[in-house]
Structure 1
Amino acid sequence: MIDWIEAKPYLPAGAKRIIGRGSTFWVGELDEARVLKYPNEVGLLDSDEARNNLIVESKLYEQVEEHEHIIKSYGLREDGFLVLERAANGNVFDSPTFQGRLMSECGETILDGGSLEQAQYYCPRESTSRADVKTDLFRLGSTIFFLVVGHEPFPDITGHNEGDDEEVERRFRLGEFPKEKHASSRIVEKCWRQEYNSAEEVLQDLEALAAV
């Protein structure tokens, strides 16, 4: 038996309409340049988890240097909601090429698009359908690497040849990480080794690094 929770759309002050969504948050249009990220249930921000998630996300944006491939953060409003730059290309839900799964109300897979991360961001695991905090933090490690070094892990593997994805997975699985050394090397490798339990732990290490 699966419990379903209906999230009823609502608009906080200043938001004109909902233009995006996630599993726990709505994205509302503020103007042509900015959007507002807020919990998908009225009063949810009263919970410590929801409030902490937005605070952590805001601080992560503060720690990452400005980059053309990362949206800007304008910080938290007084009501605790996060103001972000509006993405020029919309969101993945509007993309007709997005691959995902169509599920029945019983949780059965009706259509399986087989959507997976790109090899350089994929955490090796037994079940390709399993995703959790640590697989997300693995991808975060690869993202930090890209931002700091300027290219994705293993640039010698183009991804255009048969077996390339398997080779990337093999290296990650065996701990044969990229040789490039940079200020965030230890943090990135901890993400890849799945030694972090939360994004807040990553943030603490980034803040400690920035203070050096």
Structure 2
Amino acid sequence: MPWRHEDKTALAMDRVTSRPLSSLGHVTPCDMSWSLVWSLLDRPVCSRCIALTYGMSKVDMESVVPEVGVTWTPTTSIAPDDPAFGTRWTNLETTTDQPQLARQAIVIQPKGQFIAGGTTSLVERLPSGDVIKTPWAGDAREDDCRREIAIEARIYQQLGEHPRLVKLRHWDAEAYTLTLEYMPNGTLEQYTKTHFGEISMAQRLRWVSQAAEALHLLHSAGIIHCDVGPHNLLLDADLSLKITDFSGSSLHGSRAMVCPGQRYTLPDPDWKPGRPPTVEEDLFALGSTIYFIMTGKAPFEDLPDDVVEKKYLDGVFPDLKGVPCGEIIALCWQRKVLSALAILKLVDKTCQ
């Protein structure tokens, strides 16, 4: 989930480094830890670099990246009452030539099985089978992460239960942890890439309809998602689609803390920092999501982000000839549709 930043260049770079964080899948703690470490070290938007490890000791860290040559000593505990966080380690000595090496590491004691890590939180599956989101702590964005996950909790509480939402199990307002229903088939992005040839057209059309229904639910409640895409759509045991991840969303006109990846971003040459997000932005991203559902690829998937941005600004989009729901996708990309409800009606008409 990329941050919405004042500097568009920094934002584009942040997309590159943050996207892998939400698509690591089920990996070993060791792999996840250092994927997070190097992704965070490459970010130009961090006020100070923080290396995040996942229950790893000094020996574990040095065995993974032996050239770092770091001496670690424990200092104060980050949150003594929170079992999610272990000991903070201070870097006393480094022999690496990389000047951007993090000066501190946060050792996080896991609550359960790792699922994903993003810019706001760590996502794990608890022994109970539910999923818990824990905000990052110990770096410059600690307060932001807590605010963002609190917004997500408010959105779940405001919307209540709905077929297009993951069920909220518990919100801990003191620990800022959010416990949610587990979705066994993962993200729409992961599932589609793995099973593309096996997915029927009827199933694809159901997903398109359900995605439009999910956005209609949000928009009707004054919520702009701000990061619509197949990575934020989850599938339950019956392959029904649920929209998720509201930690950076706009609630009743509040400033968004995220934005979509380049291929899901509405082209706007007049974009200005701080401008409130719009329904139109979510609808454009929905068009790109429908394109992904029907083709198994993101728009211009093989092109660099800067090239995609220029094409979008020039009004150039992927060829939709022969693509199912191509007319609906075009309406989204060309800003000729005003609501998710209108898209839902068009999709339902197509399914008849």
> Per residue, is there more helix in 1 or in 2?
2
Distance in 1 (alpha carbons) for counterparts of 2:291 and 2:208 = 18
Give the match for residue 77 of structure 1.
Answer: none
| 2:288 maps to 1:142 | yes
Matching residue's letter, 2:153: G
Matched residue SS, 1:70: strand
Structure-2 residue corresponding to 1:179 = 319
Contact between 1:73 and 1:85, CA under 8 Å: does it hold in 2? no
After TM superposition, the structure 1 = structure 2 runs for residues 47-66 of structure 1, keeping only pairs within 5 Å, are 60-61=209-210
Task: Provide Cα deviations, 1:115-150, integer angstroms capped at 9, x if missing partner.
Answer: 332000000122254421111100000111111100
Query: Could you say what the CA RMSD is over the residues aligned between the two structures, in angstroms?
Result: 4.3
Cα gap change, 1:185/1:33 in structure 2, threshold over 3 Å: closer, same or farther? same
SS at match of 2:319: coil
Separation in 1 of the partners of 2:287 and 2:315?
Answer: 14
Match of 2:271 in 1: 127
Q: CA deviation at 1:62?
A: 8.2
TM-score using structure 1 length: 0.50
Does structure 2 conserve the Cα–Cα contact (< 8 Å) formed by 1:33 and 1:85?
no
Deviation at 1:184, TM superposition (A): 0.9
Kindly tell me the number of residue pairs found equivalent between the two proteins: 138
Give CA-to-partner distance per residue, 1:176-208, whole Å, 9 cap, x none: 111253111110011011111110110111111
Structure-2 separation of matches of 1:59 and 1:183: 11
Q: Map 1:72-91 onto structure 2 (within 5 A).
A: 72=236, 91=245
Q: CA deviation at 1:175?
A: 2.2
Structure 1 unmatched runs, 5+: 1-17, 35-57, 75-83, 102-106, 158-163
TM-score (norm 2): 0.32
2:336 to 176, 195, 199: 195
* 1:156 Cα deviation after fit: 2.2
Query: What secondary structure, in the 3-state scheme, does the structure 1 residue paired with 2:153 have?
Result: strand
1:70 matched residue in structure 2: 234
Aligned partner of 1:139: which letter? A
In our comparison, the structure showing a higher alpha carbon Rg is 2
Residues in 2 aligned to 1:86 and 1:33: alpha-carbon distance in whole angstroms? 11
Distance 1:169 1:86, change over 3 A: closer
Question: What is the CA deviation profile of residues 84-112 of structure 1, one whole-angstrom value per residue up to 9, with x for unaligned ones?
Answer: 8889xx8464xxxx7x99xxxxx8x9xx9
